Amino acid sequence: MRKIKQDDYVLFFYNDSKKWLMKAAPKQQFHTHVGIIDHKKVIGKPFGSAIKTNKGKIIFALEPTIYDFVMKSQRSTQIVYPKDLGYIAARIGLQSGQKIVEIGTGSGSFTTFLASILKPKGHVYTYDVDENFMAIARKNIEKAGMSKYVTMTKLDLKTAKKMPQKDVDVVIVDLGDPWVVVPQARKMLKGSGAFVAICPTMNQLEKLAAALRQNDFFDIECTEQIVRTIEARDGKTRHSFRAIGHTTYVAFARKVITPASLRKILAPVVEQPEIESEETESSEDESLSSLKK
Ligand SMILES: C[S@@+](CC[C@H](N)C(=O)[O-])C[C@H]1O[C@@H](n2cnc3c(N)ncnc32)[C@H](O)[C@@H]1O
């Protein structure tokens, strides 16, 4: 059983909305509304141990997971939430050893999650244009112990002449205008590699899907992940009053390589507006009359 050592990160857990992620330090006495959390009490104890505050409240000293690091990351930008991360991981087949490009590091929360799964042999190459955001992301990634698996570079891929990576398994885009970097993503991806974009609005999805089709991507899918929390209590189990509202839509696609001769076959069928012909009118009438009978 792993015991808590000085400088280990510990999640001090009172309840779901009151929890603190901190490094265990023997001199630290952390003041909260439920009393003082004395770090001395947890050092040397196994993760999961309960301790009592000076106000008699019970706190559990939990070993933090990547979920805790993501949710407790310092946020300089909107982040991608675990409910969306989970579906994306499944959809792209995220696994150890993969090489991933991320455009739009933001607070580094998505980067942290990706690195935690593709380590130790895989790598995330993440790009941003804002040094202030990058500095915060660097701290968040380091705090979660993922720095070794991440290379962060200041680079605007919208205007970059040469692509910094090639043959990557996945390109992830979290920009306001993801459709702009679809050709760049294509250049970096290996054949059948996955493209994912975080799109908080449907308008973004529309423009993005059009760009994906134009750039020979297939298996295009747009989703919204809805998670509802259930409060399970004897005889009164129900949905929680607190709910996560809208986070984002997620667009997914795969790079395919279709020769021009075959692309014609795939050309989207333009839907024609329905023209009311006498034939359709009469067949409608017939079906209506058969219903009425
Ligand atoms: C919404 S945030 C990304 C949040 C990130 N996915 C997370 O989970 O923490 C969008 C980021 O894209 C960056 N950005 C904007 N334009 C960019 C560009 N042309 N190239 C790279 N990054 C860009 C912004 O500076 C910002 O940090």
CA of 123 to the centre of ligand 1 (A): 19
Cβ-count burial of 163 within 10 angstroms (0-12 exposed, 13-18 middle, 19+ buried)? middle
Q: Percent of the chain beyond pLDDT 90?
A: 85
Pocket of ligand 1 (CB under 6 A): 77-80, 103-110, 127-130, 133, 156-158, 174-175
User: What is each CA distance from 214 to 51, 249, 258, in whole angstroms?
Assistant: 59, 21, 11
The domain that holds 227 is classified in CATH as 3.40.50.150
Please list, residue by residue across 229-242, b when 16 or more beta carbons sit within 10 angstroms of its beta carbon and e when fewer do.
eeeeeeeeeeeeee
Residue 3 gets which letter from DSSP?
B
- Pocket residue to mutate for ligand 1, from 77, 146, 154, 172, most atoms within 8 A of Cβ: 77
> What average pLDDT does the segment 135-157 reach?
98
CA of 174 to the centre of ligand 1 (A): 6
> What average pLDDT does the segment 179-197 reach?
98
Q: Which atom of ligand 1 is nearest to the CA of 198?
A: 6
Given pLDDT bands bounded at 50, 70 and 90, which one contains residue 83?
A: very high
- Res. 37: pLDDT tops 50: yes
The domain that holds 58 is classified in CATH as 3.10.330.20
Same domain membership, residue 251 and residue 147: yes
- Res. 161: pLDDT tops 80: yes
Given pLDDT bands bounded at 50, 70 and 90, which one contains residue 242?
A: confident
> What average pLDDT does the segment 53-78 reach?
96
Same domain membership, residue 126 and residue 256: yes
Q: What mean pLDDT value characterizes the chain?
A: 92
Residue among 61, 65, 70 nearest 24 (CA):
61
Residue with the smallest CA separation from ligand 1 atom 27 is 106
Same domain membership, residue 87 and residue 54: no
Write the single-letter amino acid at 159.
T
> What average pLDDT does the segment 151-167 reach?
97
> What average pLDDT does the segment 119-128 reach?
98
This prediction's pTM: 0.89
Residue with the smallest CA separation from ligand 1 atom 18 is 156
Q: How many Å apart are CA 113 and CA 115, to the nearest integer?
A: 6
- Total number of domains constituting the chain: 2
pLDDT of residue 272: 57
Residue 292 within a domain? no
Given pLDDT bands bounded at 50, 70 and 90, which one contains residue 273?
A: low
- Res. 14: pLDDT tops 70: yes
- What range defines the domain where residue 32 resides? 9-64
CA of 103 to the centre of ligand 1 (A): 7
Same domain membership, residue 78 and residue 50: no
> What average pLDDT does the segment 71-95 reach?
96
CA of 67 to the centre of ligand 1 (A): 21
Q: Report strand pairing: 230-231 vs 123-128.
A: unpaired
pLDDT of residue 290: 47
The DSSP secondary structure of 5-40, one letter per residue, reads -TT-EEEEEEETTEEEEEE--TT-EEEETTEEEEGG
Same domain membership, residue 85 and residue 39: no
List the structure tokens of 251.
Answer: 């667009």
Residue 79 within a domain? yes
pLDDT of residue 195: 98
Q: Which atom of ligand 1 is nearest to the CA of 137?
A: 9
Tell which wins on pLDDT, 283 or 22: 22
Residue 274 within a domain? no
Residue among 271, 272, 254 nearest 213 (CA):
254
Residue among 23, 55, 57, 56 nearest 42 (CA):
23
- Pocket residue to mutate for ligand 1, from 84, 130, 249, most atoms within 8 A of Cβ: 130
In the three-class reduction of DSSP (H, G, I as helix; E, B as strand; rest coil), residue 66 is classed as helix
Residue 178 gets which letter from DSSP?
G
Same domain membership, residue 22 and residue 157: no
Same domain membership, residue 52 and residue 108: no
Q: How many Å apart are CA 196 and CA 248, to the nearest integer?
A: 12
Residue 112 within a domain? yes
CA of 85 to the centre of ligand 1 (A): 16
Provide the 10 A C-beta neighbour count for residue 126.
Answer: 26
Residue 280 within a domain? no
Q: What is the largest CA-CA distance in the chain?
A: 87
- Res. 174: pLDDT tops 60: yes
- Res. 248: pLDDT tops 90: yes
- Res. 276: pLDDT tops 70: no
Residue 106 within a domain? yes
Same domain membership, residue 106 and residue 212: yes
- Signed CA dihedral, 286, 290, 291, 293: sign only: positive
- Res. 293: pLDDT tops 90: no
Same domain membership, residue 242 and residue 99: yes
Tell which wins on pLDDT, 239 or 277: 239
Strand residues in the chain grouped as ranges (E):
9-15, 18-23, 29-32, 35-38, 49-52, 58-62, 99-103, 123-128, 150-154, 168-173, 189-199, 217-224, 230-231, 238-239, 249-255
In the three-class reduction of DSSP (H, G, I as helix; E, B as strand; rest coil), residue 82 is classed as helix
Q: Percent of the chain beyond pLDDT 70?
A: 91
Residue 161 within a domain? yes
Residue 17 within a domain? yes
Same domain membership, residue 51 and residue 146: no
> What average pLDDT does the segment 85-111 reach?
98
